[in-house]
Amino acid sequence: MDPVDPPDPPLVTTNAWLNWYNELLQVRLDYVTFARDETRYVSSAHGNDANDGLTPQTAWATVGAARNWVNSSNPTGETREVLFRRGDVWRVSSIITTSQAGVRFADYGDPDDPMPYLTGFTGVIGPNDSHWTADGVTGVYWRHEPTAVSWVREDGDVDLESPLRRMSSASGVATHPGSWWWSQSESRLYIHPRAQDDPRSNGKLYEIAYLTSRGFGVGGDGSLVENLRADGFGLDPFDSSTLREAFQTRVRNDDQAVIRNCVSYYGSSHVIAHFAGSSPIQGGIATFTECVAGFTRPNGSGETVLNTYAGQGECQTIFNDCTVARGTLPSFEYEGRRGDPVFGHTGGAPATLGLTIVKGLRVVDHPNGAKRTGRFNNAPTAGSLREVRVFFVDSIVEGGRGSGDQLCPLFLEGAAFVNCQYTLAPDNLGDDAWLQVTPVNGWWINSTLDLNLAQQSDDTFDLYRASASGNSARCWNSAIRVTNVGPTKTIRFGGGVAQYSAGCEMVNTILSLDDAEGAFEINLPVDDSIVRGNAYWGLDRHSADDRGVILDAPPNVRKRPEVESPLTGGGVPLPGATPLDFDQLRSIRLADPPTIGPLETESLPADINVDGSVDGVDLAMLLAAWNSNSRLADLNGDGAVDGGDLAMLLASWGVVVP
């Protein structure tokens, strides 16, 4: 397969699409995986810049030495790599940006040691430091800090669970335990420790990021960055500009770059990104796989954890098995959930994105998690499913309070969401609210939405707001479960005039209202070509749906229906006789026509390759993913493939799925 100009994808509802995707991903990874001509080693613990850097025993010490070498004159065009020693730490305000072709930044050393850690938190205040001064206000301390402070961490990675909040004044710090503020006029850093203890005796480490620039930026064809962690880059207390991420691909046109198995927190308005450039730049082929990121800096509008952009469009981007672990850092302006987990766009119409795939995305539930669900602007127009070139597949949004707002698309313009699981519990959006505004023209297929409206005002709440004609929300073989609607509230599939949604389709979908107080309306035209073959619990069957099934009990949309359930015998062919080869567990669908809803057959978490049994193949796949965050092999969902997952697999050894 040509990694630059691959063949058109098969239908995304078929196993052929998955095979096509896996081959495309592999050829793009293979393109950047080759032996480099020259290698230099860097170790902050054991290196010396007076060394030649040619061996682990003669490693350099600093990022600066590596930066100078990578960007030095290269008239013969040799490919170069820099390897950072695992377990070492570098505190620097910027890392390396280069346009050299074929460059590689990676790790070396004991694989059991932590990833090489490059951090923009260059200021280190040791435990029990005597230079803190009690402010006279209970719980508040300050120290002289003449350089502008961008962010403060308390107690290392504990801060990832409960980050310090940036305030706008010393009085704000006084009222908020777990906060900080830097006073430019006083040259003072104020803190209010999370546990309201004394930094002169609490034994905690405090780290400060001052003005930081970009981390790794690779613009040459064939570039690869892998197995590294970089935190705290692109932070600036005065400048809200973006494009200074910890990991950034900058390739253009048909050039390719890969970011693989990298981790980053505390970033600019994006944390890991592709940026081909503004007008008239276009293109670039970027692949991000098995990366973990979170905590973008608040900028007042467009915070995004994963991002792709080309001014004139045509960029091709894959986000494969990536985890968005956090959203936006808390500040006096914003608290709680905020920001997009993944976003793609161009400089505006008529420019459009190229082939864009989000596969296996996981958005983690956290009080400071991402608020939205992922979106793209300027996707290519798709009049049919075969024309789609923007895909969300096998993605999970864990949700929690605040994870839904007015930009949470299920029917993204020109995109297909397939085999996704969304759990949304939006904060109160006020009366007459909605998850998505028009235009609505996309597909929600074999997917599950759990929508908890407990926080909403008593009024209408729409999955999308149809304020004009021409909407095409296509909901096929999915499940929509709504809870806590409230006695005076109405949830609507489509808001506005029903005829505005004449291009919609609702087929083989389970609709469940799990309380008897509110109402659930399907605001679609009375047309059996639009609504057919669905199942209903807690709401009336749509008047056009003569094949619809009324359920006698609330359905469990995450479990295979019982044999006697009407869900197992219902179902109608999908529009255009579209095949659907798999259920939501990626087991083979057995019924033809398909059953109602996304689940049909039972599987086991330990059956990694979904072949119906737990055996040596699954064990080999788990071991191959050891110490990674592979979503498939992370059986217990704790973010790492380790002994806990192995124990689960062995407990199911030999079990065959009935």
Could you report the per-residue pLDDT of 301-317, keeping only the tens digit for each? Answer: 678 999 999 999 999 99
pLDDT confidence of residue 240: 65
Could you report the per-residue pLDDT of 12-23, keeping only the tens digit for each? Answer: 999 999 999 999
Give the sheet arrangement for strand 460-462, strand by strand.
Answer: 433-434, 460-462, 490-493, 519-522
Give the integer Cα–Cα distance in Å for 63 and 40. Answer: 11
pLDDT over threshold 90, residue 599:
no
Could you report the per-residue pLDDT of 509-519, keeping only the tens digit for each? Answer: 999 998 778 89
pLDDT over threshold 70, residue 241:
no
The pTM (predicted TM-score) of the whole model is 0.91
Among candidates 434, 414, 439, which has minimal Cα distance to 500?
A: 439
pLDDT confidence of residue 281: 77
Give the integer Cα–Cα distance in Å for 471 and 192. Answer: 51
pLDDT confidence of residue 591: 67
pLDDT confidence of residue 406: 74
Could you report the per-residue pLDDT of 130-162, keeping only the tens digit for each? Answer: 999 999 888 999 999 999 999 999 999 999 999
Which of the pair, 286 or 433, is modelled with greater confidence?
286
pLDDT over threshold 80, residue 576:
yes
Sign of CA dihedral 149, 214, 224, 295: positive
pLDDT over threshold 70, residue 201:
yes
Per cent of the chain over pLDDT 90 is 72
Give the integer Cα–Cα distance in Å for 502 and 505. Answer: 8
Could you report the per-residue pLDDT of 325-358, keeping only the tens digit for each? Answer: 999 999 998 888 888 999 999 988 889 999 999 9
pLDDT confidence of residue 604: 63
pLDDT over threshold 80, residue 559:
no
pLDDT confidence of residue 556: 84
Cβ contacts of 7 within 8 Å, gap of 6 or more: 1, 20
Residue 111: Cβ within 10 Å count:
10
pLDDT over threshold 60, residue 577:
yes
pLDDT confidence of residue 243: 75
pLDDT over threshold 60, residue 371:
yes
Lowest mean pLDDT segment, chosen from 237-246, 279-288, 335-344, 520-529: 237-246
pLDDT confidence of residue 13: 97
Whether residue 593 has a cis bond before it, omega within 30° of 0 = yes
The whole-chain average pLDDT of the chain stands at 92
pLDDT confidence of residue 503: 93
Type and span of the H or E element at 67: helix 63-70
Which of the pair, 403 or 241, is modelled with greater confidence?
403
pLDDT over threshold 80, residue 54:
yes
pLDDT confidence of residue 601: 62
Give the integer Cα–Cα distance in Å for 10 and 52. Answer: 51
For the residues 405-419, what does the mean pLDDT come to? Answer: 89
For residue 584, the number of C-alpha atoms closer than 13 Å in the C-beta half-sphere is: 28
For the residues 569-585, what does the mean pLDDT come to? Answer: 90
pLDDT confidence of residue 423: 94
pLDDT confidence of residue 589: 82
Which of the pair, 591 or 360, is modelled with greater confidence?
360
Most confident of 63-77, 230-244, 434-448, 511-525: 63-77
Lowest mean pLDDT segment, chosen from 73-77, 259-263, 331-335, 633-637: 633-637
pLDDT confidence of residue 472: 94
Q: How confident is the model at residue 603 (pLDDT cuts 50, 70, 90)?
A: low
pLDDT confidence of residue 657: 55
pLDDT confidence of residue 372: 87
Per cent of the chain over pLDDT 70 is 97
pLDDT confidence of residue 561: 78
Among candidates 81, 87, 86, which has minimal Cα distance to 32?
A: 81
Cβ contacts of 109 within 8 Å, gap of 6 or more: 56, 85, 86, 87
Could you report the per-residue pLDDT of 624-640, keeping only the tens digit for each? Answer: 889 887 767 888 777 78
pLDDT over threshold 90, residue 558:
no
Give the integer Cα–Cα distance in Å for 452 and 538. Answer: 15
